Amino acid sequence: MKVLNLIAKTRSIRRYKESEKVSMKMLEYIAEAARVVGSAGNRQRLRLLLVNDERCDTIFKEIKFASALDWNGPEEGQRPPAYIVVMTDSEPDTNLAIDMGLAAQAMLMTATEEGLGGCMFRSFDREKLGKLLGKEPYMPALVISIGTPDEVVVLQDAKDVRPDGNLNYYRNSYGYHLVPKIPMSTLVLK
């Protein structure tokens, strides 16, 4: 697959086939993408917690799903069967935040190529989840859910979604998750 197609396929997935477990071997394969990706000054300050056990329930309760939707997150049976928690030993500065973005996107693309899907989460209480995970001084800076997708996510041109330019994602009557993207003429400055 062309890298651009893989990027387009790598969408935020929030509903999963919860019964399809993600093995530790697969999580380690996905984590390898974060190991080899670039980082500011090659300092490699990120640490990862790979989770596919009962701690999934703990993480699920602490993260906020899709705040643009009127939705409390996936029902039992569609919850993430695994997570990769990106951890840092200090509040992320700008370089560390960029490092996290690179690592997260690389891992999500690797997961997508393997037929899995994922979503990044920044909406959680770092102190509370950090205490629950018990890896101090490393605290969670980004949570990534991983699993077999159980939803359809479609990219749309923003103009086809809403004339008023609102970029909020939404669900249509089939339950498809639609994600408006701005056109090239807006993205690229003249």
Ligand X SMILES: Cc1cc2nc3c(=O)[nH]c(=O)nc-3n(C[C@H](O)[C@H](O)[C@H](O)COP(=O)(O)O)c2cc1C
Rule CB under 6 A: which residues touch ligand X? 11-12, 14, 64-66, 119-123, 153, 169, 179
> In this complex, which beta carbon is closest to ligand X, that of residue 121 or of residue 138?
121
* Contact yes or no for 73/67 (Cβ under 8 A): no
**Residue 46 near residue 106 (C-beta atoms within 8 A):** no
Measured CA to CA, the distance from residue 178 to residue 156 in angstroms comes to 7
CB of 39 to ligand X, least distance (A): 17
Residues 6+ apart with CB under 8 A from 36: none
Question: What residue is closest to ligand X based on CB?
Answer: 123
Smallest distance, Å, CB 185 to ligand X?
19
Tell me whether residue 2 or residue 190 sits nearer to ligand X (CB atom).
2
CB nearer to ligand X: pick between 44 and 105: 105
Whether 100 and 141 have beta carbons less than 8 Å apart is answered as yes
Which residues are registered as beta bridge partners of 12?
Answer: 118
Nearest distance from residue 160's CB to ligand X, in Å? Answer: 15
Nearer to ligand X, 17 or 64 (CB): 64
